[in-house]
Structure 1
Amino acid sequence: MQNALAVVTVVVVGLLVGVEFAVAVFVNPILDRLPNDGGLAARSDGARVLGKVMPFWYIGSVVLGAIWAAMAWGDTGAGLVATATALLVLSVLMSIAVLVPINSRVAQWSHDSVPEDWKQQIGRWDRFHYVRVGVIVAAFVLLVVGIA
């Protein structure tokens, strides 16, 4: 049971890392290069769509990590899993405190209602998102090492 939980947790967190990494490194930079601020509508739509899905994915990752850490307590690697889970909790707290408020505003934007400082707000979101990606990558690595 614990091995299956470990595999499921690593897969769920690994997919989360892949999506967030792709958004940070590929998707958003491509959208930002579209002419005439064409990426604005795509970012707004992405904020709405991913804003509905990602909370469940992040919280689910924390729950899976916490259950795995509890089941493995005392075993080799349990400390790594617990640390990874703490990092996932940190990523959720970062999201709630910094990223979600910006994302909620972006989700409401249209070409008619965009604020003047929209590029600065998106830039701030991107910078914090890079940090969050680093945190979840570290958590993922710890989970993978914790399997061994």
Structure 2
Amino acid sequence: MTGPLLVLSGLAVILLGLSAGIHLCGVAALNPALRALDGPVYLAVKQSTDRYFPALMRPLTLAGIGVLLGLTVLAAIDGRSTVAALDAVGLIAGLVALLGVLRGDLPINLRMADWVGDHLPSDWRTWQARWERWFRLRTVATGVSFLATLAGLVALP
């Protein structure tokens, strides 16, 4: 059963690598750039990205979790306990990242969607910082998921 495991592992590494790379670019470049903007400009850019990013990230995240679930089960059935354990770590980390979206990012994004450029709440920077904390959590969890799955691929043969 090495063939299907190899294909699924490769697919998982590609999906999670893309997701981890996008998250890392957000933490390293996009978020600091947004932090440097004044309120109305920040809000315009944030609301615009919140309209476009879900179309990319939702299927990428869900596909990664789905492939990891299948990969973990398949590796366990095939008796590859090390690979199954590494993929299970990747799956748990992926679920932590998803939880970060559902409990943190998404509710804050929905709150910010109602804001109007010249009439931001006085505590908008607090909400911006809170959103970035959730995003950092997602980034770390996605990175762990990618690295665990990559280790599982390396351990496969």
Contact preservation (8 Å) 2:41, 2:117: no
Deviation readout 1:39-69 (Å, 9 max, x if unpaired): 3211111112113432222221110100111
* Shift in Å, 1:36: 6.4
For the Cα contact (< 8 Å) 1:41–1:111, is it kept in 2? yes
Give the aligned residue type for 2:48: D
Larger-Rg structure: 2
Structure 2 residue runs without a partner (length 5+) = none
Structure 1 residue aligned with 2:56: 53
Who is 2:22 aligned against? 19
Q: Which runs of 5+ in 1 are unaligned?
A: none
Percent identity, please. 24
Shift of 1:108: 3.6
Number of residues of Structure 1 aligned to a counterpart in Structure 2: 148
Give TM-score scaled by structure 1 length.
Answer: 0.90
Aligned to 2:75: 72
Check if 1:129 corresponds to 2:132.
no
The structure showing larger relative contact order (alpha-carbon pairs under 8 Å, at least 6 residues apart) is 2
Determine the C-alpha separation between the residues in 2 that align with 1:98 and 1:35.
23
Q: Deviations over 1:54-109 (max 9, x none)?
A: 22222211101001111111214111001110111111112111211001222343
Structure 1 segment 1-148 matched on structure 2, within 5 A: 1-34=4-37, 37-73=40-76, 74-75=79-80, 76-148=82-154
Range with bigger deviation, 114-123 or 46-55: 46-55
User: After alignment, is 66-75 or 103-112 more displaced?
Assistant: 103-112
Aligned-partner Cα distance in 1 for 2:130–2:107? 11
Secondary structure at 1:77 match in 2: helix
Shift of 1:37: 4.7
